[in-house]
Amino acid sequence: MPSTKDIRDMIFVFGEVKNPGAYSFSEGLTAVQAVGLAGGYTDIAVLEDTRIIRGRLDNPAILLANVESVIKRGEIGKDVALAKNDIMYIPRSRIGDWNAFLSKLRPTLEFFILPMVGATYWRDLERRW
């Protein structure tokens, strides 16, 4: 089971990548590098509509990351720097209303992320007693 420190030092990559999941965060990590960590993108990925969900799931900031412009056109200046606990999502089709989409995606994200956070939270409480 990962420790609390491990959880705080992760990013999450979901959607149209070959190996979705949690990956170690390091300073300077970018969206394109995260795609590489996740094994690359699938043939049906809509790279120009990639989003980064930052902050709490109940009130996140949603950032656009046009990964296509970096990968296919070499516009390196458009690569987005990631932060600890960012969730990156590469869709298979354009998503018009991200708030509606996020409300549908939230249960899936909570299913993957909350068990790790909850387990470490309870283990940390047990240590204090």
State the residue for tokens 């420790």: 3
Alpha carbon distance, N-terminus to C-terminus of the chain: 20
Question: How many domains are there within the chain?
Answer: 1
Supply 24's token pair.
């170690």
What is the C-alpha separation between 35 and 14, in angstroms, rounded?
10
Three-class DSSP category at 19? coil
CATH number at residue 59: 3.10.560.10
Domain hosting 36: range is 4-128
Residue 20: its pLDDT value, please?
A: 93
Residue 55: its pLDDT value, please?
A: 87
pLDDT tens over the chain, length 129 residues: 454 445 568 999 999 999 999 999 999 999 999 999 999 999 999 999 999 999 877 788 889 999 999 999 999 999 999 999 999 999 887 765 666 666 666 666 666 665 554 444 334 434 444
